[in-house]
Structure 1
Amino acid sequence: MIVFQVMGPKLQLFLIIICMHSLLIEAQTYETDYNALISLMTHWKQTPLNWVGSDPCGNSWDGIQCVNSRVASIILSGIGLIGNLSEDIQYLSELQTLDLSSNRGLAGAIPPAIGNLKKLSSLVLAGCSFSGSIPDTIGSLTQLISLDLNSNQFTGKIPLSVGKLSNLYLLDLTENQLNGTIPVSDGTQPGLDMLINTKHFHLGQNQLSGTIPPQLFSPNMTLIHLLVDSNQLHGNIPSTIVLVQTLEVLRLDSNSLNGPIPLNLTKLGNMSQLYLSNNQLTGPLPNLTGMNLLTYVDMSNNSFDVSNVSTWFPSLEDLSLLTSLIMENTRLQGQIPVTLFSLPQLQTVVLQNNQIDGTLDIETSHGSQLQLVNLKNNDITKYVLGTAYNNTLILSDNPICENTQVVLLMGNCTVGQQQNTPYVTPLNNCTIVQCSSGQICSPNCKCANPLTGTLHFMSRTFSALGNSSYYISLQESLLDIFQSKKLPVDSVSLSDPFIDVFDYLELTVDIFPLNRNRFTVTDFAAVLSTVNNLTFLNHSSYFGPSYFTIANNGYFTVNKSSSIGVIIGAATAGSILALLLLVAGIYAYSQKRKADKANHLNNPFASWELNEHSGSRPQIKGVKCFSFQEIKKCTNNFSDENLIGTGGYGKVYVGDLATGEPVAIKRAQQGSLQGSLEFKSEIELLSRVHHKNLVGLVGFCYELGEQMLVYEYISKGTLRESLSGKSGIHLNWIRRLQIALDSARGLAYLHEFANPPIIHRDIKSTNILLDDQLNAKVADFGLSTPISEIEKGDASSVKGTLGYLDPEYFMTQQFNEKSDVYSYGVVLLELLTGRNPIERKKYIVREVQSAMDMTKELCGLQEILDPAIGMKTTVTGLENFVDLAMKCVNESRPKRPTMGEVVKEIEKILQLVGLDPNAESVSTSANKNHEANKGSTLHSHGSATSFQYSGSFPL
């Protein structure tokens, strides 16, 4: 054994290679295919454990399907692959299907060599992290039927060569960063107009610009879905679009399209869903007569000519399938005809922010499906009272709501929203059972580890999210699909329907394995691949096209080193000598690892001292140095279930230390690692910062090429999440004041009391966290800089987040503590409006500046104040708060207050409210104040206006 142990590693490797070569000669799999798979495996981590031996076809490697000893299919969806795509993929010349979807660890560019896979019919790389340009060689894949690249990070233009894919059925490039124009042919170059057999153009959520080319459309096209929403397109909607008579779903919303809607648009008789909202469209509203299959119409937020509803709505009378009519801010006026509400399938009517007047009559006749009527901010003066309609009706900010007696009788004048009962697939006549940790109960009451994720539907025919019939239909259709493909699926559970900011319907899906508690790798990948390709299946007429994002990417935790060990063991099976050498080598290596580990435990800073460029060990107190294994254990091997956030730096996980203390771990990704000196400086800086309104540093990990910071865990998420409604927390005026004070005190500490004083440099609502008591804590000090370094001129590059940047800093590349004040002022405006700093290309600072009039009620900000603060009244201290916010965002730095001055101003506002700003817990006082004022008259500051609290107003 001693002889084997001292053998050189080169001799061991030589013997291993000889053994592997001898086994390869006997392999059944075509040699070129085997070599290509080995190349892929060297570029990937977390490959399946049974990828061993030299015969992938004969040994049935997970995810590999062969025909006549040639690799015909690779399906490895969602198994946690990490790495990039080797150009040796081109040597799999018989490959027909390549599905690597839902592997977020796969990154880098697609190699141009992929164009050599001439027999490829399905290329599915959705839900990965590929970047760079889509290679022009993709046009060489003439057999391609499905090209699905959604939810990646692709940049550049859509290749012209895509127009050569004459057999293409699906083109899905949704949710990337593609730019440039929509490519069309010009006689010498191909374009998308040549794809006459393609059914789906899914191009939403990119950065496409220019106009929609008229030549894109022709009578020969069989397109059914044209989705170009959330881009930067401008110009007119081309009238040639009506040449495509097969169109069923048209999404042009959230662009900058202008001009009138083509009058001949109504010739699209197969149209089911029409999204034109959030553009700059003008001219008359289109007459929808003839579009009798319409179910969902949204034309909100355009600048149409003033239109009288009595002349426009009669065109809707034949739309017997219409479920949703959304016409917010479209310059409608006049009285709504009662016939509108009699449409048999109508579920939702949203006509807020118009000039609709006269009498509202829903009671006389309305369809049984009607769930929501939102007429907020119109000019309605009368309402036919009755009991026939008992669902959600919103009439706030109408003249009728100024009559106190009517308000008390109706109860429809408070700001509200549709209340949907959260849907969860019910149990199938069985009793729920208690499952072990990590498992959940299926609808058939069996404990298992399901495949879990979110289906994102890019369109839908309905708006009543609480209607269970839609989900039952989808559930049954999914089960039929899995059974038809003979996949081992026991049941499907659907839950938590939700409409996201892109107006996509999100639906949580749990898919349970049949007759076992976990899917195998092959079954998991096959089931996930099926869900990712639902576009091909008519799974439900209620739901439009979809894509899937997996939640449990860590379903399979594979130890790569152990996998390699198995491969080596199998390859050297024919040689006893090589096997003994291998065992000896492993033994020696393990002994060395044990010695290294013991040394590290005795000296947690050894990694710095061994690196000549790292400098001396960090000078810290009260901060622990964690080992990689400790962090790995408390995050469940960095599982997706523990993932709570992502960003340019990497990912954030939640975990429990051995002591039971919950922590948040910020793990830098490889591309964003700092140098050792910079990382050490950040730890030293954070270890000196201690304040109740700053997130505390618990420890760090600097091992195995990792840079991780361990923070105290703050349970209620970010301020941005609460303002957007995602967290489920409702922030009343007093709580907003408290959050403003807490975050101001944290910043004032950094500027004035830390040693040395520190500038944060990235103040924003996502970097302000809320704890269990809704106390605010400033977080994320990755860009923070001591003021002493600024004075030396050591830091001058522009860093921060767009929308929060100090204009003077942006122009001069010089920052100081007043740069933080500006960013903080933007946060104050977010607290006022609930809006993002930049929303629909409008900057919040400019919006408030142009709307503000301190001589008017609510400072003239009625239209942009967050409704949760309250409308048709003033709020105590609002004038002072607005004045302070505008001082903070003053373009001139000398005119901005210091953070210490900001703290004093907010304390004065809280005193106006009747609270002690120096109390131990302002939030507790705020809650008591809220209870004490329940049902009482709230008096405004600076005005005699008051209103009666009814118990439903979101304080």
Structure 2
Amino acid sequence: MKKEMGLCALFCLLFLCSVSGKVVDFSEVSQLLELKNAISDPYDMISSWKSTDLNHCSWFGVTCNSRGMVSELRIPGGNFADLSFCLSNRRFGLERNCSSAKKGKFLRGKLSNVIGEFLELRVLSLPFNQITGELPNEIWGLKSLEVIDIEGNLITGNLSIIDFSNLKKLQVLNLGYNRLFGKIPKSLEECKDLSVLNLARNRIQGPVPVFIGNIMNLKGVYLSSKNFPDPITVDRDGLPTLPPQPRRVLKDSGKKKGFSALELVLILAASLIVLILLALIVVYFYMRNRKRSSRVDGVNSIPSPPRTGNERLVIFRQVGAPLTFDSVIQATGNFTSRYCIGSGGFGSTYRAEISPGTTVAVKRLTVEMCQGVPQFNAEIRTLGRIRHANLITLIGYYSSPSEMFLVYNYLPGGSLEDFIREKRNHSIGLKVIHQIAIEVAGALAFLHDDCNPRILHRDVKPSNILLDTDLKPYLSDFGLSRLLEGFETHVTTGVAGTFGYVAPEYALSCRVSDKADVYSYGVMLLELISDKRALDPSFSTQRNGFTIVTWAVMLRREGRMKEVFADGMWEAGPEIVLLDLLQLGLVCTAESASVRPTMRQVVRKLRRIQRDFDR
């Protein structure tokens, strides 16, 4: 009887799958379960992989294509805060210490050769786990693979015998921080689309093969190892530059080979003198540029040292009260936490009441961020000329060797991040949400298309969008990413930007474009309609990812779109507007940058949506 009931349940499940238009590939279900059984999962990271749930496309870390076949396996180990730090280096894997990432959750054990059964797998990403042994040979036969990221594991094996010739579509090969040995195989030259190669901190033997220079799409490469006799660098165009090949010397018994001890001493002495002179020249120009950049030569400004008590700032716009160094210091309590209203990757922001009825916002920059940037004053002056109804106004700035801060107009409505968090307890109309979305989009479109030179924000997020008392949004921190791009902090992906908002191609290759801002805007739009954060804690209970993007994609794929929206929003409607906003958020966060619209197109779409309110 139980057997008959089980068969009946199975037929019912198959019927429901066919009605819903979803095809369950039971072979891939069993393959995933076999893969799970072959490894140890001490922290239940893949506990959602169960034989009782045949919808494997909703399992954690699993993404399927339109045919219901597994296309991505993404199961990162370690702490996410550490992972964001590990992604922060601009050259993808160079000079970074990711050992702390192993303190968090991870998988353990060997990969099963069943991995070779996923014929449509494009992405295999298992970084910072504790996977051991050799990688199954079946991996190198997966012709659809575009990304292999198994960095920071305990993988062993001889790299020399791996045949990469089948991986024609491979774009990223990241096997850094493992225990591989041997030489780089000639078959890697067949990967013509390879753009990132990271074999750092393995036991790879040199020399660097000449054919690496023939991979024309290679932009990021790191082959550093104590076994390489020569380094490999990356030139300005992103192409690898190989060390010079040794010249072939003809045998000549009549000539002396090499240098004598005296000759070597003279060469070393001369080289040392040249190096000292070069160092003195560099120090001289550095000190001269530092003094020049710290000199405030604007309207009504005087040199910083010595202070007279009434040093004026470089002012772009009058506020009705004199702005001096001391008046700002006094109004902020010498930048004490009592007056702090926000902190970000570039510094902290303080509320400063300069005089009764005159309040400004002061962003205090870390001095080290601006030192060594000779064009700091010129860049800040360019930002001071920018005007737009939805951009925060730069009133002025102060710059000295010991202190740097920017002065903006103060907005009492707080940030959009605060608004999203607090609107859960208030009834906010859809028109207000739409108006915020369209005005922020207009500000970004202005930066992308109407500024000269054009500006890419590179850190669009709710905390960088401020509101006045009428809930009108103002985009802040624009232009600072480019101005201070040489400085990295723990809250950035280092690539400028914040973990959870950074476009995948930007995090991977550090190649910035306006489509990276579009992705961040899409994340913000999803937050605005759902009351969720980009990395909301509630996503840890979901079976498909840890970001608002993967969460929203999962709900749409399962036909549960109304669950995306904040409480009461779906019931208030209109549904056509809600679905259009959801679709816009998802297309803005498309994995492929080419699919995303421009911000000008986003504005036009939001204007068409606005007309649906009147229907």
TM-score bin, normalised by smaller chain: 0.3 to 0.5
> Structure 1 or 2: larger strand share?
1
RCO higher in structure (CA 8 A, sep ≥6) = 2
> Structure 1 or 2: larger helix share?
2
- Return the TM-score normalized by structure 1: 0.30
